[in-house]
Amino acid sequence: MPRQISDTSSRIELRIPPEQKAVLARAAALENVDLTSFILGRILPEARAVVERAEHVQLSERASLRVLDLLEFPPEPTDRLRRAAKAGRTLG
């Protein structure tokens, strides 16, 4: 009978050389955790950091003030922007 997969988890398969798997398994054993827990414990924080860096923009104080100023006092639209808006299309 096939094993049913829980709705709360999904499977990832990883192909690595046996030597690398042995190193990971040894490290997991030294930490007294299973291989999956060892890998996830090391990789998830790094993955979250990558996502955080990609999704958040950090501005200097000067740039932040410039953005706020532009939001409060936007520049007049250019002729090109007016034509694009009238035509209902994006710039580019």
Q: Is the pLDDT of residue 54 over 60?
A: yes
| 7 located within any domain | no
| 35 located within any domain | yes
Q: What is the pLDDT of residue 5?
A: 60
| 79 located within any domain | yes
Q: Is the pLDDT of residue 77 over 60?
A: yes
| 34 located within any domain | yes
CA distance 17 to 19: 5
pTM score: 0.57
Q: What is the pLDDT of residue 9?
A: 84
Which residues make Cβ contacts (< 8 Å) with residue 91, sequence separation at least 6? Answer: 80, 81, 84
Q: Is the pLDDT of residue 16 over 80?
A: yes
| 50 located within any domain | yes
Determine the structural domain holding residue 80 and report its residue range: 18-87
Q: Is the pLDDT of residue 11 over 70?
A: yes
Domain count, the chain: 1
Q: Is the pLDDT of residue 60 over 60?
A: yes
CA distance 47 to 15: 19
| 1 located within any domain | no
| 72 located within any domain | yes
| 12 located within any domain | no
